[in-house]
Structure 1
Amino acid sequence: MRSEKYIQPDELNVDNVFENVNYVIPIYQRNYAWRKDEIEQLLMDIDDLDETNSSKYYLGSLVVNQVQPRVYEVIDGQQRLTTLFLLLRYLDHPSVERNPLKFEAREKSNITLGEIETVMDSKEPSLYSEELVEGYEIIKKYFQSKNANDDYKKRFKDKFSTVTIIRTQVPQNIDLNHYFEIMNTRGEQLELHEIVKAKILGAIKSENGFSEEDKKDKLIAATIWDACAQMDNYLQMVLPVKIREKLFSANWDMLRVADFSDLRDIFNAENNSDETQFTLKTILQAPDPTVSNQIDDREEENERFESIINFPNFLLQVNEAMEMTETDRDSGLDDKRFLDLLKDRWASKEKALEFIYALLKYRYLFDRYIIKREYIGEYKVEGKWSLQKLVMYEDKKGRKPSYKSTLDSMDQEEGTDNQQLRLLESCLRVTYTSPKTMHWIARVLTNVNKEQDGKLLIPTLEKYCCQKIESSDYRNRSGFGIDRIVFTYLDYLLARDRASEFSNFQFQFRNSIEHFFPQHPINADNSVTVENRDLLGNLALITVSANSKFSNRFPIEKVEHFPNIIEQSPKLKAMSDLLKKYDRKWDNNSVKDHNASMLSLLETEIEKYK
């Protein structure tokens, strides 16, 4: 038998992950594939750290195989490692001066890494890796958007010492094929939310051990947990039928239970004659809750709707909603601190049961008051934003589940309030794409739990947007330094106030700032000065593909050749209308006119909520 010597993992920080070592990305690894979302998320993870807090922040893991002294073959984590290399090169970090990262048998990638700072000036772009160049440019633009000077970059680098990476070396002489088989089955290991489930169920015990009531409570908790975990289905559709009939009103329009004690009464009444024995292990090993086995409509529903967050993120939202109720503050949605954020919820039996009830209550409210993506009819492929409640509807053919607009009665079509709330929530969804920034969801859940009037969510969320915009220092920002919420909320306001004109407008995921008058115009046209090109009045938010089509075209060409792109943004449509007003010309006066109009619109809205 071969010896497989275990080697203790190294706890590294960003400052020393490349220090005195070399990494090789083997040929069987895929090319560098991270894009804007992943790269910016890593940058924000670091940027958001409090430099006065010395506690360590876990950024991820790196699995390597030592092939020579101080030379490691990267087995897992190469995307993160390559991104860190690009980041350190941009920041002129001494640890990467000697190019300690290489790609096996990919000379184009190695040339790119060695010359990354000057690639954009090259007349031979085909010599370089397009993916690596794009990654470097995303990092560069991120810092430009922050107006990063030397002090900003120094503060950013100062945080590296607390950002921890665990480098794990596979045992020496291990069969790597066998190791990859193990990696491919990692889904069988407990994930963090499963650990939380085990902790909470384990806390449901009396001081003198597990009583019969504890065992029943544990089964109730597991049933509620597994039902709530199925985020792409409405809650009523996944609960046991007999339980569902007692948990909800006859038309499913109201949750009847006020605490865990009520849950216990309902379950005990149904299970009085049930002698089934169960353990924590059998509960944790319950069948996959995403498998349809209860009612026929579930499979169709699972394909029709898509939640905007997954179950682990929902657990953090519930925790934050509870914190807001208890302390009127955000608790945090950072999944890097998942167990730490939730640990108080299994501190005692009472807290565990309280969390299970909150899970049920907030999941019911989530289904009613938080938008979903719906794939049906002409939207079967691309989907559309949906804000609907699930009700039990009765007609001549009998009782059946039906989806109705949340803020409207069962016999009404979607009204203005529901349309406006759906538009507002979709504005927030496309603005704050990272789950850890979606604090608005917990605010919605907290407010409808208190007020029981969904229409009050509109001013609540509008005020939230205004606070975000005001804190972004939007009056003094320009170009890529303007926060995304400024653009998306302006689109919302224009669509709200001109509802008939924009009745079919749907927010898309857009992250490319478009200069209506191009940054680098053909023929050195200076109708708009360089300074004015970066004003809010010359900018709009569109998709990356749309930005590529627009390229360096002049405004009138964009309007005439790409009307579908113009429709992506009410703000861009307003600029198009202004262009026609100015006899097809877009100059300094046009930019300043639109800039003043947009700033005035924002200031009026902000003042309304002060």
Structure 2
Amino acid sequence: MDTIKSELIDLKKIIERDLRFNVPRYQRLYVWEEEQVKTLFTDIYTAYKAKKEAYYIGGIIIVRNKSLDIYDLVDGQQRFTTIWLMANHLGGALKAFVKSKGELRLKFSIRKNVEQYFNFLSNEELDSNTEAFDDLVRISKGRKTIENFIDSNLNDFHDKTAFVDYILKNVKMVYTQVPESMDLNKLFETLNNRGIQLSQHEILKAKLLSFLPNKQERHRYAIIWNACSDMTNYLERSFAYEIGNSRDIADSYNKWSYRHDWKYLVDTLKHKRVAENKILNLSDILAKDFEPFNNNADGQPNEDFFHPKTSDDEFEKVRSILSFPQLLLHTLRIYLFEKKSPDLNRINEKELLLTFSNYLYKDLNEKESRKFIDVLLRVREVFDKYIIKWVEEEKNEEIHQIKILSKENKIKRGKRFYLRRKKSNETNGLALLQSMLYHSQQNTTQYWLTPFLYRLLKQPTLEDAYQQLKYLDNAMFSNSSIEDDLIIRSLKCMDTIPDFVADLKILRTKKGTGFPHYWFYKLEFVLWHERSIFPKNKLWDDYKLTARNSIEHIAPQHPRDIRDKVCDESLDAFGNLVLVSRGINSEYSDWSYPVKRSKFQNKKDKGDRNCLESLKSDLIYSEHEIWNDVQAELHQDQMIRILGNYFEKTKIQADR
């Protein structure tokens, strides 16, 4: 074959043609992070739920490997490997994709340990020791992420079977075969060095700005858009990058209303270097002195940009819980609601341009373009003021926090103002409640944010925002009898939060691992909220919610010794269950209750923070020396009573 051939292909065709693949020596190891794995699964699952005819995962480039009678994957290994891991855990009809004639459909010719790991997976006899290999850490994390998402979203057998069939026939890829004579090293180098395509939100920006006839105004709104799009920083710092001087940002800030005087700020832009049509060479760029985070000769923060009392925590890295396209879609919902226009069908950042085309473009003109960017700026302001961010406290360790913005001055050659982002216990409850919602909801949608952001535009106090979010959470998520889709529920909560009735009957069922994870997350927040009734648990004050995807049975389902089977009636009841990380679940596994309790107490005595990832677990192991059906039922009654009292405090009448 001397020509390049491309075609659209699905997994069903791969199976029918009995195509097998190899990851060649020049390919890097699996490097996808958890977020990339989550995004691929969520996108496919969203397309499946929306009954889309096809979901395209991009392309793969292959070349015939004569020596192995197989095809080498020149490009697309990361996606293809992730699909293989997904197919392996889903099973069913996808098992035929996992293996071909008893051999792996995806091989690793020079990495036998990886191939051995995949064989363990496909035979359901994974040796946990393989996870200790350094080069398998990413694959192992990717596998666990996929398993957690599948187990959380696909509890119903028929739904799982339908999802398997969708992946088999509707997940499409562009399959390109290149000639064996091609210089593969050169091709691979070219593929790895190709430029980044223009993102959808940049195309959207150009579309909106094209309606503004005044060049200076286009420039101003472009700066506003650029600042809003930087989701790895706070808005005032992003503007400092754009303008070149953080003092103008501080001067324009009204501390009483938490608003900037944007007229002042935009007028200031006229006189800044960023407004000049000057082309900078490399020397100019390196010599620029307006970087907000430059240090002086002593290695200290430049006093032109930071208050003299600036603390180290103000330099902690932050990143948003949303991508910029996601924020744009929440903003679009608010914009449409204010215009009394129809709401979106769903939030899907992969369809950003299509969504804006369907809901905004038909009415777009100069006035509406300006209005949308104004709404975006208002939304981004309150997003930074009230919404949690991922804050890196230690290397590779992030927690959810809200840092308060304050305006301070220092008298030196006249009055000079500074804006500071500082930690405060005042935001702990609001941050924890948001963290609960973030972890318990789909990370690509977070529908609760639209009505909450809309209410925040009125600039409530932090305490008022906290109370409103409690009501919103109860109304949207604590009534299991509501059958509306989440996007419809969120729309109903925009103006007035409905007085939904919380139904706690679900907590008296015996669903085992089928319990919605939301109720475990919710209980963790409520236990922290009501921590004053547990005065001995002082460690709860600094509690942080983390992602957990594994439901553990306190009394094990299959104990090592049959004499340790202490729960029968309550085995799969809410009282005998806790939500923990997969690592904790694996560690405690089938141990008896006394052994689990001893392990937990030893960790707690040593100050191990991981033992407090579940406050429900802490209560059980701290308050119950023995465990059986009676103790499990007593604990369950106590938890339901605490939840009921919380609902009464937050204006929702619980139906017990």
TM-score, normalised on structure 2?
A: 0.73
User: Which SS does the other structure have where 1:438 is aligned?
Assistant: coil
Q: Matched residues in 2 for 1:250 and 1:114: separation? A: 61
Q: Matched residues in 2 for 1:175 and 1:457: separation? A: 60
Instruction: Give 2:418's aligned amino acid.
Output: P
Query: Match for 2:383 among 357, 366, 385?
Result: 366
Instruction: Give 2:548's aligned amino acid.
Output: R
Q: Matched residues in 2 for 1:141 and 1:308: separation? A: 20
Q: Give 1:235 deviation, angstroms.
A: 1.7
Q: Give 1:504 deviation, angstroms.
A: 1.5
Q: Matched residues in 2 for 1:576 and 1:541: separation? A: 14
Instruction: Give 2:584's aligned amino acid.
Output: A
Question: Is residue 307 of structure 1 aligned with residue 345 of structure 2?
Answer: no
Q: Deviations over 1:549-593 (max 9, x none)?
A: 4344333213322213432222122212321xxxx1111111111
Question: Is residue 63 of structure 1 aligned with residue 108 of structure 2?
Answer: no
Taking a change above 3 Å as real, the CA distance of residues 560 and 228 of structure 1, as seen in their structure-2 partners, is: same
User: Which SS does the other structure have where 1:439 is aligned?
Assistant: coil
Query: Match for 1:355 among 372, 378, 389?
Result: 372
Equivalent pair of 2:382/2:459 in contact (CA under 8 Å): no
Equivalent pair of 1:16/1:95 in contact (CA under 8 Å): no
Equivalent pair of 2:64/2:72 in contact (CA under 8 Å): yes
In the other structure, the counterpart of 1:482 is 515
Unaligned runs of 5+ in 1: 207-212, 407-412
In the other structure, the counterpart of 1:209 is none
Q: Matched residues in 1 for 2:597 and 2:255: separation? A: 58
Equivalent pair of 1:578/1:590 in contact (CA under 8 Å): no
User: Which SS does the other structure have where 2:12 is aligned?
Assistant: coil
Question: Is residue 577 of structure 1 aligned with residue 622 of structure 2?
Answer: yes
Equivalent pair of 1:251/1:393 in contact (CA under 8 Å): no
Equivalent pair of 1:248/1:255 in contact (CA under 8 Å): yes
Instruction: Give 1:75's aligned amino acid.
Output: V
Q: Matched residues in 2 for 1:36 and 1:528: separation? A: 37
Question: Is residue 74 of structure 1 aligned with residue 76 of structure 2?
Answer: no
Taking a change above 3 Å as real, the CA distance of residues 86 and 268 of structure 1, as seen in their structure-2 partners, is: closer
Equivalent pair of 2:64/2:70 in contact (CA under 8 Å): yes
Query: Match for 2:437 among 428, 431, 440?
Result: 428
Instruction: Give 1:237's aligned amino acid.
Output: R
Q: Give 1:216 deviation, angstroms.
A: 1.3
Q: Matched residues in 1 for 2:33 and 2:448: separation? A: 26
In the other structure, the counterpart of 2:254 is 249
**Count of aligned pairs between the two proteins:** 572
Unaligned runs of 5+ in 2: 295-300, 307-311, 482-505
In the other structure, the counterpart of 2:636 is 595
Question: Is residue 152 of structure 1 aligned with residue 165 of structure 2?
Answer: no
Q: Give 1:219 deviation, angstroms.
A: 0.7
Percentage identity across paired residues of the two chains: 24
User: Which SS does the other structure have where 2:25 is aligned?
Assistant: coil
Query: Match for 1:190 among 198, 201, 216?
Result: 198
1:368-383 to structure 2, matched below 5 A, reads 368-375=385-392, 382-383=397-398
Q: Deviations over 1:292-351 (max 9, x none)?
A: 724656798564433333434333333344345445856643222232233355644333
Q: Matched residues in 2 for 1:527 and 1:246: separation? A: 68
Q: Give 1:448 deviation, angstroms.
A: 0.7
Instruction: Give 2:552's aligned amino acid.
Output: E
In the other structure, the counterpart of 1:441 is 449
Q: Matched residues in 2 for 1:273 and 1:459: separation? A: 42
More displaced stretch, 157-166 vs 31-40: 31-40
Question: Is residue 386 of structure 1 aligned with residue 401 of structure 2?
Answer: yes
TM-score, normalised on structure 1?
A: 0.78
Taking a change above 3 Å as real, the CA distance of residues 479 and 558 of structure 1, as seen in their structure-2 partners, is: farther
Question: Is residue 92 of structure 1 aligned with residue 93 of structure 2?
Answer: yes
Equivalent pair of 2:219/2:275 in contact (CA under 8 Å): no
Equivalent pair of 2:154/2:160 in contact (CA under 8 Å): no
In the other structure, the counterpart of 1:536 is 574
User: Which SS does the other structure have where 1:513 is aligned?
Assistant: strand
Calculate the aligned-residue CA RMSD, in Å: 4.3
Query: Match for 1:561 among 592, 598, 602?
Result: 602
Equivalent pair of 1:405/1:414 in contact (CA under 8 Å): no
Q: Matched residues in 2 for 1:476 and 1:41: separation? A: 32
Question: Is residue 609 of structure 1 aligned with residue 652 of structure 2?
Answer: yes
Equivalent pair of 2:436/2:521 in contact (CA under 8 Å): yes
More displaced stretch, 591-600 vs 529-538: 529-538
Q: Matched residues in 2 for 1:572 and 1:328: separation? A: 45
Instruction: Give 2:94's aligned amino acid.
Output: H
Q: Matched residues in 1 for 2:111 and 2:425: separation? A: 56
In the other structure, the counterpart of 1:224 is 224
Q: Matched residues in 2 for 1:287 and 1:441: separation? A: 39
User: Which SS does the other structure have where 2:448 is aligned?
Assistant: helix
In the other structure, the counterpart of 2:469 is 461
